[in-house]
Structure 1
Amino acid sequence: MTKQDEKHRLQSVLNTDAESANFEEAITLAGCGRYHLEVLLVCGVITMCVGFENGLSSYILSSAQCDLDLSSSAKGMVNAAFLAGATASALPWGVTADAIGRKKILVMSLLTNGIITFVSSFSGTFLTFASLRFVNGFMIGAPGTLTFSYVGEFYSDKYRPKAITAMGLFWLTSWILLPVFAWIIIPLKLNYQIFGISCHSWRLFVLVFALPSILTALLLMRYPESPKFLLSQGKKKEALAIIRQIFAANTGKDKHEFPISNLIMDSDASENQAKTISDIISNIRKQVCYLMTPPLLKYTALTSLTMAVTMFGYLGFAFWFPELFNRFESHYRNNPNASVTLCELSALRNEIGPVYLNDLNTTETNFTNVGTKILSTLTSRSLPILEKSSLQTCDPSVDLKVFSNTIIIGAVSLVVNVAAIYLSHHLSNNILQSTTLTIASIFCCTLYFVRSTFQNLIVASLFSAFANVGIVVFTGAVVDLFPTRVNAMAVCTATFTGRCGAILSNILFGELLDTQCALLVFLMSAALLCAGLLGFLVPKKIPELPQSGKKSSTA
């Protein structure tokens, strides 16, 4: 059926007393109002929980380094553990949600994540904390991807892009609230002993952010499963009942006034309901085969490649911005009159070592004592245990500029995302995604030329804002593109490859930043530009699917 034919059919349904309609027609007749706003707000809070977990470690590692005996490499391993858990969970959550439902997985994963976060606040060792962060990453990976499918399946085609783009607002809000709470809690001078564990402010900070996941899971229990998913599983009566509730909430009319009494199943819908473990495994196998074979295979490959390249270009810089800000602050503290670019600073660091650049207490303003510092560094390295020596003490303090800079980046991203919501109603996903990622590519390239902390903050804010919008818009495009029975897995597959790209970019950052900085910056910029071009190849809908051989049925 062509798009024009679909419009004619919908108009016919609207103008007659037709009792049968497909999902798109029925959800359109239900209107868009209070019910949809409630679902959007709940899913938005879920997205904020995901944002809290993703950024949690960035604000506690410095203040927790004394309690957990964290070296620099150990801090990196904590971040890697969380990212590894999120990557490992992408595909399992996708296939499970497409087999047994979005809501069940979301509630279970949010509850578990909140409990694990609560327990991790009492961690006494690095190994315990890193292990729990891995579990956090695994659990939060479910709402990190499935929420887009869940909220999108309550909306009609007309409003779905705007709703999914709006989810980016909540993600960015979480990245503003997180440093605000960190600014309030972490500087507190707390020192209590509970069961032999020293309780400082970072533990209170972690404990506070265990609550949103638990409370949101309880709130989500009040809402139903996605009606579009239920219809894809052959549960037509349940799906129709939910659509009638939506109609009543949006219009103020009685649900029995809803003009549709029969739902027509799409040709790709499955009538097999998962009742046993073997049913679930069978359904998972079927949908994996469905997604990984023609004609869906090329779209799976295209969306996965696009997400991998996008996150490769963005998350490398995103995770390193605090480090880069610290480097600039350190340099200008020592050399207030000497401007420097990112790559010049990296080359300088590579030449004279990290001791000079990271010594925030020095009062020197020139390079006359560089030789003395190098000699001092080499001498100190000959000590048996440098980290335990009397020359170093554990300092859990955190530079407050980390919080303020992060708040500014989040605020700029929020403004750009609001504009993107408006534009999403007037522009196609392809154009919006490609435009935002191309602009992000330009700002990424600009990072090579700027020469101050302030300039870096401005460029980094705009870079993050446009890259974030590009990722959110593209995720919505994936939800729209694939059939309901596999779109959760399609989103998770794209997210999996994206996280692999993020891991690769962070590895390259560590290896190349101080030796091949220019290559690194332009590589990230080129990746975002490539992702923008790939976005043009992704269609709004898959043109044609093979028929199942069964006639559409009604309930």
Structure 2
Amino acid sequence: MKPTHHAKINQSIKQKTEGSGKMCDPVDFDKAILLTGYGKFHYEAFTACAICIICVGFQNGLAAYIFPAAQCELRLTSFELSLLNVGFLVGGVMSSFLWGVLADAKGRRSVLVFTHLANASVTVLGATNGSMVGVILCRFFNGFLIGGPGSIVFSYLGEFQPAKCRSSVICYSGVFFTGAWLLLPLLAWIVLPIELSFSMGSFFIVTPWRLFMLILVVPEVLVGFWFLRLPESPKFFLARGDSTKALLVLRKIFATNTGQQPEDFPVKTLLKQRNENPLSRQCKGKVQEMYNQFKSLFKPPLLIFTLLSTSIMFANMFGVFGLGWWLPELFVRFERFHHLHPNRTVTVKELALLNDTKTCKPSFEPAVIESTVIMGVTSLVANAASGWLAARIPLKVIPCATMSVGGLSAMAIFWLSSAWQNLVVASVFQAAMVTANMTIGGVVVELFPTGVGAMAICLTMCAGRVGAMASNLVFGLWMDRRCEIPIFVVAGSVLIGAGLCFLIPKGSGGEREEKKVVEVAVVTHFDTKL
């Protein structure tokens, strides 16, 4: 939303509240959150969530910059090196449902605080550990823990937003995930060439790549404590049947935004939402609660939305974390070839065969860094454009268009013959796929009721991580022998995902009519069971 639009909202609220007194009749949540205004609180919440998303981006993207140095220092084989990537992804898959049920049962904020502070501690252990097994285990727990904020932050951020700008704000937040991937190569360029070696036995070692990881801990600790000062989502409280706590949070938001007293908030009572999964309040054990929520996602009327969102995310992350992780290596191979043969062109298939053994000192040539930065800037622009468009066009148009572009650009990579061609196509691919990834999260927020929303997002992200693991296996098996196989498999998968986006129910941000129908159907389903 534009700042002028925020001003119009606040002016409208001021006119409604002046002299109008309290609203005696119960007010629904969307109207109540609109009456809190849009100001200081929303900007602070957005900033905290932005740092959270940057931390998630750091953890997902750091492998390309630290593992070449780690491979030499720890004397890792190619298989052991692959375990660092796979371990991270397996950890994310294993924790997906855990964070979903905890977020829907205990609150979004509690999960965000715990996972960030715990993940920071694990990263410190991994960065200073001299054991290969220890580093792999730490990467597993990094994946396990970072899956929490990676999935929950969109629910937390979205549930503070007025309906009309919810999808737009979520799309804008995706800029910061891309920004993290832009900051990583710049930070690596500064830190990794430093001559540094310090150790205290085999359990506390500091070298440049370890220092790089320790620096990434700083924003994670900051945001973990920042979430402590922010309130829990009022929509979460309302979904749990606690309208009193929800109203208290809304009053606090109103006071922060407007400068008035909390008691001046015009809403006296909130309309209770019986449509928000009453089973979750009755389950004594968290395992049973998790099972009930998970089961509801695979029964009508939510089943079709579950299959749709998981399939699209699988296809997206199959491309982002398969071909996307291989692109920096492709830049390096182009640079190596042109240094040896400055007047020759080379195909990607020929480059794939030039798999020279890596040296112990990782190379960060200016041309490679520049290419990576250009890719990051392109993705930032695309994310910003998607945030502007999300409030103006049907939400499904963005992932459909971007994944179509991503699939076609992935296919084009096979026919590249120069570094500049690779840069153009890689920038288009990365921008399209990362933008699609963020907007798919917005689609999931819109499709599912709040009571199972966090669980639905976690399930969707789990499907995406499975896609990432599958893609890594495909590239690991075939990239150096038959590179056309992984390239065209990625292109085909992404294009299929783009086709599935056509099936997303029509909507353009805010609360869709289809969602209301779903919620009514969910009430009927659970009432029948009870």
Instruction: Please report the TM-score for the alignment, with normalisation by the length of structure 1.
Output: 0.85
* Whole-angstrom CA distance in 2 between matches of 1:193 and 1:93: 36
Aligned to 1:158: 164
Alignment of 1:280-429 (within 5 A): 280-346=286-352, 349=353, 354-355=355-356, 395-401=360-366, 402-429=368-395
Q: Is the 8 A contact 2:129 2:205 kept in 1?
A: no
Matched, 1:224 2:248: no
Displacement, 1:198? Answer: 4.8
Alignment of 1:449-468 (within 5 A): 449-468=415-434
Shift of the 155–54 alpha-carbon distance from structure 1 to 2, 3 Å rule, reads: same
SS at match of 1:426: coil
* Whole-angstrom CA distance in 2 between matches of 1:223 and 1:486: 22
Aligned to 1:39: 45
* Whole-angstrom CA distance in 2 between matches of 1:493 and 1:109: 18
Larger Rg: 1
Q: Is the 8 A contact 2:69 2:209 kept in 1?
A: yes
SS at match of 1:475: helix
* Whole-angstrom CA distance in 1 between matches of 2:307 and 2:153: 22
State the AA in 1 paired with 2:78.
S
Alignment of 1:258-297 (within 5 A): 258-270=265-277, 278-297=284-303
SS at match of 2:270: strand
**RMSD between aligned alpha carbons?**
2.5
SS at match of 1:150: helix
- Measured against aligned partners, the alpha-carbon deviations of 1:65-113 in whole angstroms (never above 9, x if no partner) come to 3331223322221111111111211122112211111111111111100
Q: Which structure 1 residue ranges, 5 or more long, are not aligned?
A: 1-9, 360-393
Shift of the 516–67 alpha-carbon distance from structure 1 to 2, 3 Å rule, reads: closer
State the AA in 2 paired with 1:422.
W
* Whole-angstrom CA distance in 2 between matches of 1:37 and 1:185: 32
Aligned to 1:74: 80
Aligned to 1:86: 92
State the AA in 1 paired with 2:468.
A
* Whole-angstrom CA distance in 2 between matches of 1:445 and 1:14: 55
SS at match of 1:447: helix
* Whole-angstrom CA distance in 2 between matches of 1:65 and 1:285: 41
Q: Tell me which of 476, 482, 507 is aligned to 2:473.
A: 507
Number of residue pairs the alignment of both structures matches: 500
Matched, 1:479 2:445: yes
**Which piece of structure 1 moves more, 278-287 or 326-335?**
278-287
SS at match of 1:433: helix
Instruction: Please report the TM-score for the alignment, with normalisation by the length of structure 2.
Output: 0.89
Alignment of 1:85-104 (within 5 A): 85-104=91-110
**Which piece of structure 1 moves more, 155-164 or 29-38?**
29-38
SS at match of 1:537: coil
Aligned to 1:375: none
- Measured against aligned partners, the alpha-carbon deviations of 1:146-199 in whole angstroms (never above 9, x if no partner) come to 101110111121010111001111111111122221111110011223235553
Q: Is the 8 A contact 2:314 2:463 kept in 1?
A: yes
Displacement, 1:250? Answer: 2.1
* Whole-angstrom CA distance in 1 between matches of 2:250 and 2:142: 34
Matched, 1:107 2:113: yes
State the AA in 1 paired with 2:360.
D
- Measured against aligned partners, the alpha-carbon deviations of 1:484-508 in whole angstroms (never above 9, x if no partner) come to 0101010111111111111111211
- Measured against aligned partners, the alpha-carbon deviations of 1:345-366 in whole angstroms (never above 9, x if no partner) come to 33xx1xxx644xx69xxxxxxx
Q: Is the 8 A contact 2:279 2:292 kept in 1?
A: no
SS at match of 2:27: strand
Matched, 1:25 2:31: yes
Q: Sequence identity, in percent? A: 35
**Which piece of structure 1 moves more, 423-432 or 482-491?**
423-432
Q: Is the 8 A contact 2:355 2:480 kept in 1?
A: no
* Whole-angstrom CA distance in 2 between matches of 1:279 and 1:104: 18
State the AA in 2 paired with 1:24.
D
**Which piece of structure 1 moves more, 405-414 or 152-161?**
405-414
* Whole-angstrom CA distance in 1 between matches of 2:36 and 2:302: 31
- Measured against aligned partners, the alpha-carbon deviations of 1:325-344 in whole angstroms (never above 9, x if no partner) come to 22222222222222122124
Aligned to 2:6: none
Aligned to 2:510: none
SS at match of 1:486: helix
* Whole-angstrom CA distance in 1 between matches of 2:116 and 2:281: 23
- Measured against aligned partners, the alpha-carbon deviations of 1:270-295 in whole angstroms (never above 9, x if no partner) come to 567869x9343443233222222111
Q: Which structure 2 residue ranges, 5 or more long, are not aligned?
A: 1-11, 508-513
Q: Tell me which of 47, 54, 70 is aligned to 1:64.
A: 70
